[in-house]
Structure 1
Amino acid sequence: MTRRPPGSILVTGAGRGIGRAIAERFLDAGWRVGLFDVDPAGVAAVADGRANAVHGRLDVRDADQWGSALERFCPDGRLDVLVNNAGVLASGPFAGIDAATHRRQVDVNVTGVVLGALTGHEYLSRARRGLLLNLCSASALYGQPTLATYGATKAAVKSLTEALDLEWRADGIRGQAVRVRSLIPLFVDTEMVTRDGVHMAPVERLGVRLTPDDVAAAAWRVVHERVPLPRSPHRTVGRQTRALALASAMSPDWVNRLVVGRLAR
């Protein structure tokens, strides 16, 4: 891994949790950081006193707001890294969650990532080593009871990452690839898990072993990695997640179904 010189990185959902930790990690290293969130006060607090921080409101479901945020943060038309982090979670029995809540998860977690990729592509393709980094989840490895829609949205992010990783390989300047990667953590100590994930039995069984700083450190590694050989675009975060992902990849579906079913009891 070779440390690249500070560049520009835009982070969605940067007002708290994982997004905030990623933004602070890069701010501390001298990067120019765009902090965007539906909570403008939250990102303003993170950016306070930081000369290299730009902050603003962004509802990732709105294509026009994406365009405005990128135009404002990237006056030269280039962006080194875009982190699609903004996401929402609702846990509980599928039939007990109202349609609007299911729809909101799809709109934020899927449509928001698609719009970020679509709007950000032009800016990333002008950078020397443009990177689209999507926040995925271990819930994408196999469908999770009480997390059905959330897991489905993260499976969509996983699939989109794989497709764009192949499609954008030669979209950069002089044929240089626009890299596309995802981070796959298990449970992270954020409000999304501790507050919104109260109905998740796997949390009690597996525990919460990752912090937002752990995910930020993984994001830092991905931004600075150089991979000479073909490799999956996904990067698991933490030993527990790596073990689960490896077991899932090597086991037949019926074994994965059995394991997930037992964890969900």
Structure 2
Amino acid sequence: MHSILISGAAQGIGAAIAQLFYRQGYRVGIYDIHLTQAQQLAEQLGERAHAGLLDVADYASWQAALSDFCQWAGELNILVNNAGILYSGAFEDTPIEAHHRTMAVNVNGVLNGCHAALPYLKQASFARVINLSSASAIYGQADLISYSASKFAVRGITEGLDIEWQKYGIRVLDVMPLFVQTAMVKDMDAATIQNMGVHLSTEDVAQVVYQQATVKDSILTNTHRAVGLKAKTLMQLSSISPQWLNRLSNSLLAKRH
């Protein structure tokens, strides 16, 4: 029986991932800075679910969480770096502390998780890492500067480690959704979300995470998977369009009406 540890799993996308993998027979680790919510979800799911405290920006917290999980589950097969935060609005109107916090959680959280988990992943019979990137990592997004930048970093971490960890037989992949119906996007101050809309559910993202986590390892397995038609279209167009056209299209999407 394979196991999965999900960061930021108490609610939103993380909770949907936990629920889906539990239904598929996995041992599921629900780790979050909100411990009570994580414990409640684990109790709802059943005996193959285990909750724990995790502050992804704290490396020692990762070490404790991984030790706790592997003592319970036996081994770590799939790590999902899902925890993330978002601040929206004009760059200069967003406190610098908020920009720094975004990087600490969204970027350092992934670095910490991958680094601390590697010894456990190397010992597993099957191992894979799935990172939550975003369609915001296709082109830098106005009014979402630090969030977009953090997801570009996640994309880079994913690409680099997917190559570097071939020697261990570990694939490192990501998923790149557009806006998802979660508390994170509620009252967002960014014209892009108003122009593009919110059409993805947490279950939509969970399904693609499951596909990335279970797809047969092959040279043809894509490191990145866009989630939803709009994200797929934007990703495809950005790869073939000249830079000036990418800038123009993103400027139009960021225009306030």
TM-score range, shorter chain: over 0.9
Q: Counterpart in 1 of 2:179?
A: 187
2:224 is matched with: 234
> For 2:163, which of 154, 161, 166 is the aligned residue?
166
Amino acid at match of 1:131: R
| Distance in 1 separating the partners of 2:213 and 2:28 | 14
CA distance in 1, matches of 2:79, 2:230: 27
The partner residue of 1:11 within 6, 29, 43 is 6
Structure 1 gap segments, 5+ residues each: 1-5, 172-176
Give the letter for the 1:168 counterpart. W
Say whether the 8 Å CA contact 2:129–2:213 is kept in structure 1: no
Match of 1:93 in 2: 90
Tell me, what secondary structure is at the counterpart of 1:240? helix
Instruction: State whether residues 80 and 129 of structure 1, in contact with CA within 8 Å, keep that contact through their aligned partners in structure 2.
Output: yes
Match in the other structure for 1:27:
22
Q: Report the Cα offset of residue 232 of structure 1.
A: 3.4
SS at match of 2:107: helix
Q: Could you say which residue in structure 2 is the equivalent of 1:257?
A: 247
Q: Aligned-pair distance for 1:194?
A: 1.8
- Note the alpha carbon deviations across 1:8-48, whole angstroms, 9 max, x for none: 00000001100000001111222101101110111111111
Which position in structure 2 is the counterpart of 1:114?
111
**Aligned partners of 1:69 and 1:80: how far apart in 2?**
15
Distance, in Å, in 2 between the alignment partners of 1:126 and 1:24 is: 26
Give ranges in structure 2 of 5+ residues lacking alignment.
none
1:46 aligns with 2:36: no
Secondary structure at 1:48 match in 2? helix
Residues 253 and 194 (structure 1), Cα distance of their counterparts in 2 relative to 1, 3 Å cut: same
Q: What is the identity, as a one-letter code, of the residue corresponding to 2:147?
A: Y
Query: Following TM superposition, by how much is the alpha carbon of 1:128 offset from its aligned partner in structure 2, in angstroms?
Result: 2.3
Q: CA deviation at 1:230?
A: 3.6
Cα distance in 2 between the residues matched to 1:183 and 1:85: 10
- Is contact 2:91–2:145 with CA below 8 Å preserved after alignment? yes
Q: Bigger shift: 220-229 or 103-112?
A: 220-229
RMSD of Structure 2 on Structure 1 (CA): 1.2
Match of 2:65 in 1: 69
Give CA-to-partner distance per residue, 1:63-107, whole Å, 9 cap, x none.
111011101111276310000000000000000011110110000
Counterpart Cα distance in 2 of 1:254 and 1:16: 39
CA contact (8 A) 1:71 1:77 kept: no
1:126-145 alpha-carbon deviations (Å, 9 max, x no partner): 22220111000000111111
Q: Give me the whole-angstrom Cα distance separating, in 2, the residues matched to 1:124 and 1:99.
A: 36
Name the CA distance, whole Å, in 1 between partners of 2:204 and 2:89. 27
User: Counting helix residues as a fraction of each chain, which structure ranks higher?
Assistant: 2
1:55 aligns with 2:51: yes
Contact 2:176 2:231 in 1 (8 A): yes
Where does 1:132-143 land on structure 2 (aligned, <5 Å)? 132-143=129-140
CA offsets per residue over residues 221-251 of structure 1, 9 Å max, x none?
1111114334431111111111110001111
Q: Distance in 2 between matches of 1:124 and 1:12?
A: 16
SS of alignment partner, residue 249 of structure 2: helix
Say if 1:129 and 1:179, in contact at 8 Å, map to a contact too: no
The percentage of aligned residue pairs carrying the same residue is 41
AA partner of residue 199 (structure 1): D
